Chains A and B, each alone.
Chain A
Amino acid sequence: MFHWLEKNPFFFAVGVFLVIAFAGLIEILPNFAEASRPVVGLKPYTVLELAGKEVYKKDACIACHSQLIRPFKAETDRYGQYSLSGEYAYDRPFLWGSKRTGPDLHRIGNYRTTDWHENHMWDPKSVVPESIMPAYKHQFTNIADLETAYAEAVTVKKVFNTPYDTPNGVKLGTWDEAKAAALDEAKKITADMKNQNVKDAVAAGNIPEIVALIAYLNRLK
């Protein structure tokens, strides 16, 4: 059979494809629907949080930080309750990471505050003297892309039925409504910040990346 296959490239290629394809089908498909279900009470990300998630992706925080607490005592003592599948239901993409050069961030919102993050992104050594993390000062001047974040929210609502605009849920509304809501949310964050340029920018209607990022990090609980 193998000699025959080696003289018939078409059937050879079909053979290879069948052999490599079905492992994926068997491992990924059976659990697909179940793994898509959110835990009870999980809310989709607000537009500002989504913009913050984009900053997290753009500056590739994932290169050094995980968002996955494994079910060991050493991890639950350090980071809190181990992670559940349903907590990630609205995470597109998943941001578990694969390397902890820095600590896990899945529940960072439980034990770090807005002002801590502000100091830390401006100069990590000011809060953790031996830190090897670089400063991310450009996040204080770059303006977050709110419109793209809104476009993402609209897309997941339309395509994946992510529950926006439900009673007691996260309101999305029109672009203008969403923008106003994001600004309100941002102002609550800048109230706890000290950087005057950031405060001024938000007052003028522009939200710096750092504010969006902090909104996202505070949401991780």
Chain B
Amino acid sequence: MQSNAALEYDYSVAKLFTYTTILFGFLGMLIGTLIAAQLAFPELNYLLGEYGTFSRLRPVHTNTVIFGFTVSGVFATFYYVGQRVLKVSMAESKFLMFIGKLHFWLYFIGALLATISLLLGYSQSKEYAQYEWPIDVVIVVIWVLWGVSVFGLIGIRREKALYISIWYYIATFLGIAMLYLFNNMAVPTYFVSGGLGNIMHSVSMYSGTNDALVQWWYGHNAVAFGFTVPIVAMIYYFLPKESGQAIYSYKLSLLSFWGLMFIYLWAGSHHLLWSTVPDWMQTMGSVFSVVLILPSWGSAINMLLTMKGEWNQLTENPLIKFMVLASTFYMLSTLEGPIQAIKSVNAIAHFTDWIPGHVHDGVLGWVVFMIMAGLFHMAPRMFKREIYSKKLLEAQFWLQTTAVVLYFTSMWIAGITQGMMWRAVDEYGNLMYSFIDTVTVLHPYYAIRALSGVLYLVGFLMFAYNMYKTMTSSRELSEEPQFRSPMA
């Protein structure tokens, strides 16, 4: 048996991705806050001419927070967690070190090009798959490089049994690869037409209803393999590490993992209820969405029970607070989703603000909280300094929690109000409201949502500042903390 005390892990790639997590997180949330404000105050549409309208910026927001912030966070934590649970250092392989750095720089350049292409209006108009084919090719190369890193590290591992987090990282790699490839199948028109028109342009391989099915098979499961699977990988590592508690149940983690893998992919068609997709597919989507509660809650409950007997840590350690709240929001969000997937509920909820409300209690409460907690746990170990300020961390926690609550409550009310108004009829069976009536009524809720965006963004800046100070000027640590992260 190798003693892991002798291993010096190399965090250079993890650090690079930590920087981009913070950078893209800030940019993505800034744009998100701006477009939220545009819905309440439309004059804000004219700040950047053609490039500043809500419609042009919305894909920039979604793609920056998904492929910029979240995916950076996934890579950062993988390059940290991967080495530690596989008991192997990046420094041991020149090849993997090279691949890791290439992975980062290609990712960074690719992200900039991708963002510019969206601002210029190059878009396939498929949600979360807007990038045109040349950007897609770059993304595939980046993803393959990450795959080489994942399986390369696994290939030279000392710890033979793969820890739970690694299962989830492998699934992230495979899931996104499969979904992204099939959904982005497109024919570049420049080559088929013999050199006419714009080289960036392509046309989807699928049309109409088929395109819708493939897109939402992708769209729903990109959420699965981008916002759920790798975040679960993080919490399975960081919560036990930070608390010093062993995972509550191995069997529950098995059931949750394989259950999630099997069930999640079926649920995509719940985005197409009451559409022209055949009924049996819609019903499958509904049914599997409800069954999906089991593996989702399985993971969340496993996490909460891991804290059994140690709940005092919740008051003592703000990072535990972040992670416990994250699993709680995960439970809320994975209950809310299935409720919206019931056909009669969906008839009201679909097309309304309840949907972005649902997305954001998941991402703001679960994804962002977990990634920030993970990076805070990594920082003292990577930079060998204690966390700069516990007070700031506490203040950030309450500010952002308030912001999330404001976000989803306002959007629940807005969504259900609008959904009910669209279908309201008077005693003679005539529609009671014109469409614009159902828009003006939403103004206060849009204003509250914009405010919640500002609060959350300020909280994120507090996180960025705390991280920056931790990296540069906090008290140095003489040895690596074992469990609880030291903070001033």
Contact of A28 among B217, B271, B274, B353 (CB under 8 A): B217
Instruction: Report the tally of A-B residue pairs with Cβ distances under 8 A.
Output: 248
Give residues of chain A (5-23) contacting chain B, Cβ–Cβ below 8 Å.
Answer: 6-7, 9, 12-13, 16-17, 19-21, 23
Segment with Cβ contacts to A, from B202-210, B323-331, B333-341: B202-210
Question: B39 touching A101 by the CB < 8 A rule?
Answer: yes
Smallest CB gap from B219: residue in A: A98
**Minimal beta-carbon separation of B472 from chain A (angstroms):** 38
**Minimal beta-carbon separation of A113 from chain B (angstroms):** 18
Q: Is A134 an interface residue (CB 8 A)?
A: yes
Question: A78 touching B435 by the CB < 8 A rule?
Answer: yes
Q: How far is the CA of A151 from the CA of B355 in the complex (A)?
A: 37
Contact of A133 among B42, B207, B274 (CB under 8 A): B42
Question: A60 touching B196 by the CB < 8 A rule?
Answer: no
Q: How far is the CA of A72 from the CA of B204 in the complex (A)?
A: 30
Question: A16 touching B171 by the CB < 8 A rule?
Answer: yes
Question: A19 touching B261 by the CB < 8 A rule?
Answer: yes
Q: Is B351 an interface residue (CB 8 A)?
A: yes
Smallest CB gap from B347: residue in A: A72
A23 partner residues in chain B, CB cutoff 8 A: 262, 265-266
Question: A93 touching B196 by the CB < 8 A rule?
Answer: no
Q: How far is the CA of A27 from the CA of B182 in the complex (A)?
A: 14
Q: Is B275 an interface residue (CB 8 A)?
A: yes
With A68-B275, A70-B347, A136-B53 as contacts: A20 and B208 at CB distance below 8 Å:
no
Q: Is A191 an interface residue (CB 8 A)?
A: no
B127 partner residues in chain A, CB cutoff 8 A: 62, 98
With A96-B275, A100-B351 as contacts: A6 and B125 at CB distance below 8 Å:
no
Contact of A74 among B189, B271, B356, B425 (CB under 8 A): B425
Question: A155 touching B189 by the CB < 8 A rule?
Answer: yes
Contact of B160 among A7, A27, A100 (CB under 8 A): A7
Smallest CB gap from B263: residue in A: A23
Question: A150 touching B347 by the CB < 8 A rule?
Answer: no
A19 partner residues in chain B, CB cutoff 8 A: 258, 261-262
Q: Is B309 an interface residue (CB 8 A)?
A: no
Question: A31 touching B197 by the CB < 8 A rule?
Answer: no
Q: Is A143 an interface residue (CB 8 A)?
A: no
Q: Is B144 an interface residue (CB 8 A)?
A: no
Contact of A95 among B125, B205, B213, B214 (CB under 8 A): B125
**Minimal beta-carbon separation of B13 from chain A (angstroms):** 20
CB 8 Å contact bits of A47-83 with B (1 = contact, 0 = none): 0000000101111111110101011111101100001
With A7-B160, A16-B261, A88-B208 as contacts: A152 and B197 at CB distance below 8 Å:
yes
Question: B197 touching A149 by the CB < 8 A rule?
Answer: yes
Question: B151 touching A88 by the CB < 8 A rule?
Answer: no
Question: A151 touching B170 by the CB < 8 A rule?
Answer: no
Q: Is A158 an interface residue (CB 8 A)?
A: yes
Main DSSP-derived SS at the B contact region: helix
A160 partner residues in chain B, CB cutoff 8 A: 207
Segment with Cβ contacts to B, from A124-132, A163-171, A200-208, A210-218: A124-132
Q: How far is the CA of A36 from the CA of B261 in the complex (A)?
A: 29
A136 partner residues in chain B, CB cutoff 8 A: 53
Question: B56 touching A59 by the CB < 8 A rule?
Answer: yes
**Minimal beta-carbon separation of B39 from chain A (angstroms):** 6
Q: Is B174 an interface residue (CB 8 A)?
A: yes
- Candidate in B123, B197, B350 with the most chain A CB atoms within 10 angstroms: B197
Q: Is B431 an interface residue (CB 8 A)?
A: yes
Q: Is B475 an interface residue (CB 8 A)?
A: no
Q: Is B109 an interface residue (CB 8 A)?
A: no
Question: A100 touching B154 by the CB < 8 A rule?
Answer: no
- Candidate in A77, A89, A134, A156 with the most chain B CB atoms within 10 angstroms: A134
Q: How far is the CA of A91 from the CA of B207 in the complex (A)?
A: 5
Q: Is A102 an interface residue (CB 8 A)?
A: yes
**Minimal beta-carbon separation of A31 from chain B (angstroms):** 6
With A2-B254, A27-B269, A93-B126 as contacts: A101 and B439 at CB distance below 8 Å:
yes
Contact of B431 among A77, A93, A99, A101 (CB under 8 A): A77
Question: B275 touching A99 by the CB < 8 A rule?
Answer: no
CB 8 Å contact bits of B134-178 with A (1 = contact, 0 = none): 000000000000000001001000001110000100110011001
Q: How far is the CA of A78 from the CA of B431 in the complex (A)?
A: 8
Question: B54 touching A64 by the CB < 8 A rule?
Answer: yes
**Minimal beta-carbon separation of A42 from chain B (angstroms):** 10
**Minimal beta-carbon separation of B298 from chain A (angstroms):** 15
Question: B206 touching A92 by the CB < 8 A rule?
Answer: yes
Question: A6 touching B161 by the CB < 8 A rule?
Answer: yes
Contact of B174 among A16, A24, A133 (CB under 8 A): A16
A99 partner residues in chain B, CB cutoff 8 A: 351-353, 355-356
Give residues of chain A (94-153) contacting chain B, Cβ–Cβ below 8 Å.
Answer: 94-103, 128, 130-136, 138, 142, 145, 147-152
CB 8 Å contact bits of B35-62 with A (1 = contact, 0 = none): 0001100100110011001111011000
Seen from chain B, the residues whose Cβ lies within 8 Å of a Cβ on chain A are 38-39, 42, 45-46, 49-50, 53-56, 58-59, 121-127, 151, 154, 160-162, 167, 170-171, 174-175, 178, 182, 187, 189-190, 192-193, 196-198, 201, 203-215, 217, 254, 258, 261-262, 264-266, 268-269, 271, 274-278, 281, 284, 347, 350-353, 355-356, 422-425, 429-431, 435-436, 439-440
Q: Lowest 9 CB-CB distances: which A-B pairs, in order?
A: A88-B208, A148-B197, A134-B45, A151-B197, A23-B265, A58-B121, A85-B276, A151-B193, A74-B423
Can you name 25 A-B residue pairings with CB atoms under 8 Å? A6-B167, A9-B154, A20-B174, A20-B175, A28-B214, A28-B217, A36-B208, A60-B55, A63-B54, A74-B422, A74-B425, A77-B430, A88-B208, A88-B276, A92-B203, A92-B206, A94-B215, A99-B355, A130-B436, A132-B439, A134-B54, A145-B198, A150-B197, A151-B189, A155-B193
